[in-house]
Amino acid sequence: MSLQIEHVTKRFGDFTAVDDLSLTVDKGTMYGFLGANGAGKTTTFRMILGLLTPNEGHITWNGKPISYATSPQIGYLPEERGLYPKMKVEEQLLFLAELRGMKRADAKKEIGGWLDRFEVPQYLNKKVEELSKGNQQKIQVIAALLHKPKLLILDEPFSGLDPVNVEMLKKAILDIRNSGATIVFSSHRMDHVEELCEQFSIVDHGKQVVSGTLKDVKRSFGKLNVRIRSDYPLDSLTDISGVTAVNPTVEGAVYQIETEETAERLLAEALKSGPVRQFEIEEPTLQDIFIAKVGKEHA
């Protein structure tokens, strides 16, 4: 079982939002779909779900086209959150669960469990509009996964959640993946993607610019980070040859380099100013890779 996107292009008039995109998401994988604002992520999700039709190419789940409207196998958290503000939480979730083919009694049981898990059981009989934005978001996440979909598409699932709720949602998503579901999500938070995803791709202006496993992409990026903390000025380090980028931190900077010899030169130069409190060579982060591939202005 896999999700396959083959040479998919989507145009709106003269504008190409998704440009010859191909990717495969294997069953049981947690897949991160990344890109700057306007890169084409939501458009791709809508095409996966059959809500938009590609101009070219094919998308299949398990070898067949998907129809979100009719398939109980699919769960979707849309970017534009679409709960009915006047409806009570339980009514709303029951309504959506029945649309996805669940029996009312089963849905009722599951709803209770999820509201407890997300620490919002007190809102069962409250109108959606009475909940805070973050709590509405949790209800919408519950709506997407209540019927135990085999393929779960989450458009920015963490946006608007505080750190405690982000952790709660991460655990829930991991449990769903561990139960065998395939999950594709978009996020602008690279750290979340690093923690959760086995595979990912980055799109830019509708084109795929990077894809693969985190390990392979990091290895092929061919750059390292050197983190230096010091109580003394480090200005002269910026000019050392082999430094490709400098990101200042509160107590020093992180220098992007290509070879370890540059790290030695950085350390020698830093020590000229005074003692160094931290010197560490780190692998590149997904944030580094994203910025390098998509451009600083988008980060």
Ligand X SMILES: Nc1ncnc2c1ncn2[C@@H]1O[C@H](COP(=O)(O)OP(=O)(O)OP(=O)(O)O)[C@@H](O)[C@H]1O
Structure tokens at 166: 């982000």
Binding of residue 157 to ligand X (CB under 6 A): no
Q: How far is the CB of 155 from ligand X (least distance, A)?
A: 7
Taking CB under 6 A as the rule, which mask of x and - marks residues 12-31 in contact with ligand X? x--x-x--------------
Q: How far is the CB of 91 from ligand X (least distance, A)?
A: 29
Nearer to ligand X, 90 or 155 (CB): 155
Q: How far, CA to CA in Å, does 268 sit from each of 25, 160, 208, 240, 258?
A: 46, 44, 40, 11, 17
* Binding segment toward ligand X, per CB under 6 A, in 35-43, 58-66, 89-97, 267-275: 35-43
Number of residues lying near ligand X (CB under 6 A)? 12
Q: How far is the CB of 117 from ligand X (least distance, A)?
A: 27
Q: Could you say which of 79, 91, 198, 269 contacts ligand X (CB under 6 A)?
A: 79
* Binding segment toward ligand X, per CB under 6 A, in 34-42, 166-174, 192-200, 256-264: 34-42
Q: Could you say which of 43, 187, 201, 256 contacts ligand X (CB under 6 A)?
A: 43
Nearer to ligand X, 211 or 262 (CB): 211
Structure tokens at 13: 């008039």
All residues at 6 or more sequence positions from 112 whose CB lies less than 8 Å from its CB, including other chains: 121, 124
Amino acid at 31: Y
Q: Could you say which of 42, 73, 92, 137 contacts ligand X (CB under 6 A)?
A: 42
Binding of residue 100 to ligand X (CB under 6 A): no
Amino acid at 262: T
Nearer to ligand X, 39 or 184 (CB): 39
Q: Could you say which of 38, 101, 112, 180 contacts ligand X (CB under 6 A)?
A: 38
Q: How far is the CB of 94 from ligand X (least distance, A)?
A: 29
Binding of residue 201 to ligand X (CB under 6 A): no
Q: How far is the CB of 46 from ligand X (least distance, A)?
A: 8
Applying CB under 6 A, the residues found at the interface with ligand X are 12, 15, 17, 35, 37-43, 79
